[in-house]
Amino acid sequence: MPQEIERQYKEILKQYVTRQTEQNLYAGQNFSRQLIQKNIAPDEVISIHKVALEEAFPELPMVVWNSFDLLIEMMIRYGLAHAEHQSLLKKQEELKVEMDLAANVQSTLLKTTVPQVDGLEIGLVSVPARNMNGDYIYFLSDNLNNAGVAVSDVIGKGIPAALCMSMIKYGMDSLQDAATDPKKVLDVINRIVEKSVDDDMFISMFYGRYNVEESIFTYATAGHEPALYYNAKQGEFSELHAKGLLLGVVANVSYEQHAVTMETGDFVVMMTDGVTECRTDEGFIEPEIIMSLIHSLRDETAQTIVDTVFKELEKMQNFELRDDFTLVIFKKTS
Amino acid sequence: MNIQVIIKEEENLIRGFISGEIDAFTAPILREKLATVQQKENLHTELDMSEVSYMDSTGLGVIVAFFKNVNANNGHVKLTGLSPRLKRLFDITGLGEIMDIETDDKGGNI
């Protein structure tokens, strides 16, 4: 193979030295691409050049040949740097594979089941912007009287965020009772998180619980985007606000809790800032646009609403999500 | 996507001027700059954010970490010049309740 390379190079060199055209230069450029592909080090390239020159112009003075030896010596470092670069590329490839594996483990580990209770439809879409999702959804339900959902956004992305989520999951698992008050849920998780996370990491969470017998939706929030409540009779949206600090900032926080009675056709839209902070090249997508979009879909099933909203917003952003996108809808159907 | 951070130290007051966008790309720069502030007892700090056009949750994380650090030494952090959009971010997250915040319209503290 090296002989073949030497032969080819000799030809290119001869052509260039006699004619010096753009085309010959271009041939050289293309050839260097081949050399890189074959992992030929820079010092080897100069050796090849020297050999080719010796054969074509043996009469050149000794100083020229000597100078090449110095140059070859100097290029050895570049060769090593190049080799290092190659091995880094390979390592990066390996890391990517591991990240993909971790993302798989994450989705298996954090799996949660959508509750099934009478008279309530639940729609869910959660799409990560990159391969690890920073949004986390957890359902807590007895599949009879109570359906609860935690919609959370871990600030601080990537692997630390993923680890943080398993912490939330096991905290939630420990609650067991689906009738637990939302403010109590947030209090428990806050205590766990506050002890365990870095200073610049925290979590926002909205917790809502629907009670089947009374048709009441009870909620509390820890620094999360307010949910939207759609009142079917009035055909209007309102924001579900409650005071409450982000999880993980201070140890003792008392969370406010409120409740709304749901009528048939009413629904609650819970989301993360990947929805409200949608940006296009022209600026933010205004909340009114999102609301009118949801309003136009109000008679669809909860799952159709979230899927369609996601598709539309993705389109508006040129199919390029900047942040993880999560949308959950609780819709009372009877 | 650019950020500028200037820190000025006066007697017992640190003034920071932040301008640009604070997002996942620029937040590390802000974190680094704020880390140069020498933490000591009763440190008073003021961050002027009137030239901040956008901040996301990553940026919020940097501000909270700084706030926690200064607070741990009985210091004080004041944020000034917040745009309505930024103010909303602090209100939603509940941070507006525990931090000293002044909005752009020269309104009172919250």
Domain boundary assignment for chain A: 2-97, 110-332
Residue A281 has pLDDT above 90, yes or no: no
Bigger pLDDT: A110 or A255?
Answer: A255
Task: Give the domain ranges of chain B.
Answer: 3-103
Contact B61 A250 (CB under 8 A): no
Interface subset of B 83-102, CB within 8 angstroms of A: 92-95, 97-98
Judging contacts by C-beta atoms under 8 Å, the chain B residues touching residue A250 are 98
DSSP chain B: --EEEEEEEETTEEEEEEEEEESTTTHHHHHHHHHTSPP-TT-EEEEEEEEEEEE-HHHHHHHHHHHHHHHHTT-EEEEEEE-HHHHHHHHHTTHHHHSEEEETT-----
B29 touches chain A (CB under 8 A): no
Interval A222-239: pLDDT, tens: 999 999 999 999 999 999
Q: Is A231 exposed, middle or buried (0-12, 13-18, 19+ CB in 10 A)?
A: middle
- Strand A227-231 vs strand A236-240: parallel, antiparallel, or unpaired? antiparallel
User: What are the residues of chain A with a beta carbon less than 8 Å away from any beta carbon of chain B?
Assistant: 153, 155-157, 198-202, 204, 222-226, 243-246, 249-250, 253, 273, 277, 323
Judging contacts by C-beta atoms under 8 Å, the chain A residues touching residue B56 are 273, 277, 323
Lowest mean pLDDT of A58-72, A190-204, A302-316, name the range: A190-204
Residue A118 has pLDDT above 50, yes or no: yes
| Domain A110-332 of CATH type 1.10.3720.10 | no
Judging contacts by C-beta atoms under 8 Å, the chain B residues touching residue A323 are 56
Q: Which of B83, B92, B99 to mutate to test the interface with A (most CBs of A within 10 A)?
A: B92
Residue B105 has pLDDT above 70, yes or no: no
A170 — pLDDT class (breaks 50, 70, 90): confident
Among A246, A244, A329, residue whose Cα is nearest residue A293 = A329
Residue A255 has pLDDT above 70, yes or no: yes
Q: Which of B21, B25, B53, B57 to mutate to test the interface with A (most CBs of A within 10 A)?
A: B57
B37 touches chain A (CB under 8 A): no
Res A16: pLDDT: 92
State chain A's mean pLDDT as an integer.
Answer: 89
Interval A77-106: pLDDT, tens: 998 998 898 899 999 999 888 888 887 887
Homologous superfamily (CATH) of B3-103 is STAS domain (3.30.750.24)
Lowest mean pLDDT of A13-17, A101-105, A190-194, A308-312, name the range: A101-105
Res B43: pLDDT: 86
Highest average pLDDT, of A141-150, A170-179, B25-34, B37-46, comes from A141-150
Contact A249 B62 (CB under 8 A): no
Per-residue CA distances from A33 to A27, A40, A72 (Å): 10, 10, 20
Give the rounded percent of residues in chain B with a pLDDT score beyond 70.
93
Contact A249 B65 (CB under 8 A): no
A61 — pLDDT class (breaks 50, 70, 90): very high
* Strand ranges across the sheet with B13-22: B3-10, B13-22, B44-55, B76-82, B100-103
Bigger pLDDT: A255 or B71?
Answer: A255
Residue A257 has pLDDT above 90, yes or no: yes
- Helix, strand, coil content of chain A in percent (nearest 5): 45, 20, 30
Judging contacts by C-beta atoms under 8 Å, the chain B residues touching residue A155 are 57-58, 60-61
Contact A243 B57 (CB under 8 A): no
Interface subset of B 53-72, CB within 8 angstroms of A: 56-58, 60-62, 64-65, 68-69
ipTM of the complex: 0.81
Residues A165 and A73: their CA atoms lie apart, in Å, by 54
Residue B109 has pLDDT above 60, yes or no: no
The CATH class, in words, for A2-97 is: mainly alpha
State chain B's mean pLDDT as an integer.
Answer: 86
Interval B3-54: pLDDT, tens: 899 988 887 789 999 999 998 889 889 999 988 888 788 889 999 999 998 8
Residues A290 and A293: their CA atoms lie apart, in Å, by 5
Residues A274 and B24: their CA atoms lie apart, in Å, by 14
Contact B92 A153 (CB under 8 A): no
Distance from CA of B66 to the nearest CA of A (A): 8
Q: Which residues of A310-322 are buried (b: 16+ CB within 10 A; e: fewer)?
A: bebbeebbeeebe
Res A1: pLDDT: 57
Residue A130 has pLDDT above 80, yes or no: no
Contact B92 A224 (CB under 8 A): yes
Q: Which residue of A has its CA nearest to B92?
A: A223
Judging contacts by C-beta atoms under 8 Å, the chain B residues touching residue A204 are 57, 93
Q: Which residue of A has its CA nearest to B63?
A: A200
Give the rounded percent of residues in chain A with a pLDDT score beyond 90.
57
Residue A40 has pLDDT above 70, yes or no: yes
Res A105: pLDDT: 82
Asked if A287 and A294 touch (Cβ cutoff 8 Å), the reply is no
Which H/E stretch holds residue A172? helix A158-173
Judging contacts by C-beta atoms under 8 Å, the chain A residues touching residue B62 are 200
Among A137, A157, A245, residue whose Cα is nearest residue B23 = A157
